[in-house]
Amino acid sequence: MTIIAFQGEDGAYSQEAIFEKFGAETPTLACPTFVDLFRAVESGRADLGMLPIENSTAGAINQSYDLLLDYDLKITREAVFRVRHAVMALPGVALADLKRVYSHPSALAQCERYIAERGWQPIVAYDTAGAAKQLTTARETNAGAIASETAARLYGLQILARGVEDLSNNYTRFFVIGHAESPRAEKSKTSVVLATRHIPGALYECLGEFASRGINLTKLESRPDRRKPWHYVFYLDFEGHWDDAPCRDALIGLLTKSSFLKVLGSYPAADQTKEEKDVS
């Protein structure tokens, strides 16, 4: 069976996303860091990796973008997962007893208003499920964790509150990464990363390759170019497969206008119809 790696402890949202998209019996491999996730897929210890790329509330996950540039792995699929946070604590601890709460920075950001209204001290943990596991070990009676209900069950914690995310339309977008090209789908998206020449209008000219061909960009994210201080690389997602004639021509045009271009993959686009219905 296909083994899928994820970052975090058992019970992490990434693992829940794997079970939702691939089935509850899917073998998974827990990895302490995002680098470990990429190395597991690169080395063959895992066949695929479930990589969170951005959250609808907290924004982009920068390290994920940086590692897509560093490693020669392909994006094979896009997945969107509804994140529902829960506050949990040791058995016998009440919500009024809490003084601080542990979780991953992204989860803390997604629950920022809820935490502030209760006067809790937010404390960063490396992972949501890891925060739950840490709480079980430390046995703190005035602290809680924000994680999934699955994590609470796994680590013997009681759930004190459910749905504590500040916004109901709280989704995390994932890339499924692997070695192989994804088969062409009826509805595809493509992700690329590029660097522009350091001249006026360089990014404008690059984006014009898409606009002039009627190709819709769905994402544009800039990140520092770690090879050159004060230079930047740009991550683009656009509708279509790289081998569609308009997309292929746009990429050829980019080769003449950019100083660097890497195609990260063409993949089946996630069906967001269900997510839109959930919010409405």
Going by C-alpha positions, the residue among 169, 134, 176, 129 that lies closest to residue 150 is: 129
CA distance 100 to 20: 31
Supply 280's token pair. 């409405």
Q: Do the beta carbons of residue 170 and residue 58 sit within 8 Å?
A: no
Going by C-alpha positions, the residue among 99, 104, 106, 90 that lies closest to residue 159 is: 90
Going by C-alpha positions, the residue among 37, 49, 38 that lies closest to residue 2 is: 49
Identify residue 140 by its one-letter amino acid code. E
Among 28, 172, 190, 196, which one carries the catalytic annotation? 172
How many Cβ atoms are within 10 Å of 220's Cβ, its own excluded?
A: 12
Catalytic residue status for 174: yes
Count of residues in the chain: 280
Q: Do the beta carbons of residue 148 and residue 111 sit within 8 Å?
A: no
Among 6, 34, 38, 174, which one carries the catalytic annotation? 174
Name the phi and psi angles at 187, rounded to 5.
Answer: -125, 110
CA distance 73 to 177: 6
Name the phi and psi angles at 28, rounded to 5.
Answer: -125, 160
Alpha helices (H) along 156-244:
202-211
Query: Rg for the chain (alpha carbons), in Å?
Result: 20
Catalytic residue status for 172: yes
Question: Distances in Å between the alpha carbon of 110 and those of 59, 101, 226?
Answer: 10, 13, 28
Q: Which residues are catalytic?
A: 172, 174
